């Protein structure tokens, strides 16, 4: 068994990380604080982003944060009573507001029973100096994780997908957070238009050098009413097959330092909105096939890391 797994995975699982760090079952509770996104305010947004923005499965923005939290907690508590919880601010850009508003929302969740931390999803170009100072203070009294979307290290791809920030901007923010001892998780996407397998491997090699704490690996998927869908209708670029995706993910895991926690290893689209690839709807089949391929190769996370 891989040493950073509780369930025969050959990579550093989030389940292991949380149980090892906090000593008992710990859940992330997805929340929608009704934030916007600077990339949508200042442009059309990333070409793959759905009309709801990132975090399609976060809470209902029309309900209070406490109501959203308790709805999830009540379900989890039936199976795992007395668990710990992490408030996961997931939908859109969760630092894109004045610091006074951020404090109100974050502190509301931190005040709830058995909440032992926050996980805040955002962008590298949406954290002000004032907010960074507040996050540093927050990190001294709770368990704080900041998730940053990168998607690809390649500037040509960042421009194509209209990411709205540069690699330099991303790296500067990662290092700024690290100087304040704040844990950083990075999102990447496999299968972006015109990227080769080697391009995708280069992205994880780059993140290794940055010594990030965790990673979320997504498969590019096309949903209705997005610029990416329009692009696909005009020019049906190659969409990775399940076999190609699994090969790439396993190769990426081999390169990733074993201490980097794998928070996600596939995408999670809404069935009613998905155009391609349809195989992504069978999430557990994808996860199982990744496990099987790692066994077939007799490999594990970090086997080929420098």
CATH number at residue 229: 3.80.30.30
pLDDT reading at 48 higher than 90: no
Of the pLDDT bands very low, low, confident and very high (cuts 50, 70, 90), residue 161 is confident
Tell me whether residue 8 is in a domain.
no
pLDDT reading at 163 higher than 80: yes
Task: Report the C-alpha gap between 136 and 130 in whole angstroms.
Answer: 10
Which position has the higher pLDDT, 121 or 38? 121
Count CB atoms within 10 A of the CB of residue 178: 15
Of the pLDDT bands very low, low, confident and very high (cuts 50, 70, 90), residue 91 is confident
Provide the percentage of residues in the chain whose pLDDT is more than 70.
Answer: 96
Average pLDDT over residues 79-85: 90
Tell me whether residue 302 is in a domain.
no
What is the per-residue pLDDT for 42? 67
Which position has the higher pLDDT, 7 or 118? 118
Tell me whether residue 1 is in a domain.
no
Tell me whether residue 156 is in a domain.
yes
Domain assignment of residue 123, given as a range: 14-297
Mean confidence (pLDDT) of the chain: 92
- Contact in structure between 83 and 77 (CB atoms under 8 Å): yes
Of the pLDDT bands very low, low, confident and very high (cuts 50, 70, 90), residue 137 is very high
What total of structural domains would you count in the chain? 1
What is the per-residue pLDDT for 51? 65
Helix ranges, 180-226 (H)? 197-210
Tell me whether residue 97 is in a domain.
yes
Tell me whether residue 225 is in a domain.
yes
Average pLDDT over residues 43-62: 70
Cα-based distances in Å from 235 to 193, 238, 277: 11, 9, 16
């Amino acid at each position: 068994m891989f040493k950073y797994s509780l369930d025969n995975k050959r990579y550093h699982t989030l389940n292991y990380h949380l149980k090892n760090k906090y000593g008992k079952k710990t859940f992330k509770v997805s929340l929608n604080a009704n934030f916007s996104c600077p990339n949508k305010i200042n442009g059309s947004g990333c070409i793959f982003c759905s009309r709801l923005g990132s975090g399609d499965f976060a809470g209902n923005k029309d309900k209070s944060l406490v109501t959203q939290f308790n709805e999830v907690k009540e379900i989890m508590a039936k199976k795992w009573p007395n668990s710990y919880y992490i408030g996961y601010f997931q939908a859109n850009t969760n630092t894109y507001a004045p610091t006074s508003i951020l404090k109100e929302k974050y502190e509301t969740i931190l005040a709830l029973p058995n909440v032992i931390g926050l996980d805040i999803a955002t962008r590298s170009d949406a954290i002000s100096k004032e907010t960074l100072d507040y996050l540093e203070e927050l990190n001294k009294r709770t368990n704080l994780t900041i998730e940053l979307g990168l998607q690809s290290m390649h500037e040509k791809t960042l421009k194509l997908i209209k990411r709205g920030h540069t690699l330099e901007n991303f790296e500067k923010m990662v290092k700024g957070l690290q100087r304040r001892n704040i844990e950083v998780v990075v999102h990447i996407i496999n299968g972006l238009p015109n990227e080769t397998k080697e391009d995708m491997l280069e992205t994880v090699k780059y993140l290794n050098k940055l010594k990030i704490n965790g990673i979320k690996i997504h498969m590019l998927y096309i949903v209705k009413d997005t610029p990416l869908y329009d692009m696909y209708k005009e020019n049906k670029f190659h969409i990775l097959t399940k076999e190609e995706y699994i090969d790439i993910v396993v190769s990426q895991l081999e390169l990733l330092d074993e201490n980097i926690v794998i928070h996600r290893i596939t995408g999670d689209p809404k069935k009613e909105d998905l155009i391609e690839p349809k195989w992504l709807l069978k999430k557990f089949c994808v996860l199982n096939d990744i496990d099987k391929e790692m066994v077939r190769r007799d490999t594990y996370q970090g086997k080929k890391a420098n």
